[in-house]
Structure 1
Amino acid sequence: MRSMRRGTKEMDILLMRYADARLTALDAAGLDAYEALLAENDQDLYQWISGQQPAPAVHAALVADIAATAARG
């Protein structure tokens, strides 16, 4: 639910698609990482996923996976 009600439509769409495609395959550590990412600001998340700014190292792999999932669209 937190993937769909972010506050910005762009992030709702990107994260909802990612959650639909990948969430069931994540292990406990992956779910923890995704939950930590959801705590970040939408504007920062959008810049990271769109490649406008580099993601912090702690989120870099997950952001790259979200961006790749979005590109496959």
Structure 2
Amino acid sequence: MNDNDTHSDSGLAPRLARMKFRAWHRGTREADYMFGCFFDTRHTGWDEAALDWFERLLEEDDVDVMAWALGTQPVPQAFTGAEMDAMRRLDYVDIPR
């Protein structure tokens, strides 16, 4: 996280640091890129509801979330909305080569 993050001065820095760590340490490279890149590109614009949404998403099984994002399984109602729509675009994944 850098000093320019919108949330850094709002007392959310420890919460964001935990989310970033959990997003980038899923257990598989594919899940790390899906969760980690999504967090990195989206978190600065999140309000409290979006932060809560992402924290709940981090509690879900990676295989399920990846299936929702790839469109191979329906997204549960609790996770539908603008953030899941953004996740399903997959345009945030930047895989270093």
Provide TM-score, normalisation by structure 1.
0.87
Structure 2: stretches of 5+ with no match in the other structure:
1-20
- Residue 64 of structure 1 corresponds to which residue in structure 2? 85
Which gives a bigger RCO, structure 1 or 2 (Cα 8 Å, sep 6+)?
A: 1
- Residue 35 of structure 1 corresponds to which residue in structure 2? 55
> Does the 8 A contact of 2:24 with 2:36 survive in 1?
yes
Higher percent of residues as helix: 1
Structure 1: stretches of 5+ with no match in the other structure:
none
Q: For each residue in 1:9-66, what CA deviation from the matched residue of structure 2 results, as whole angstroms up to 9, or x when unmatched?
A: 1110011111111111101111001100110001101111111001101102232221
Letter of the structure 2 residue corresponding to residue 41 of structure 1: D
1:21 maps to which of 27, 30, 41: 41
**Displaced runs of 4 or more, over 4 A:** none
Would you say how many aligned residue pairs link Structure 1 and Structure 2?
72
Identity of aligned residues (%): 33
Provide TM-score, normalisation by structure 2.
0.68
> Does the 8 A contact of 2:37 with 2:92 survive in 1?
no
- Tell whether 2:51 aligns with 1:47: no
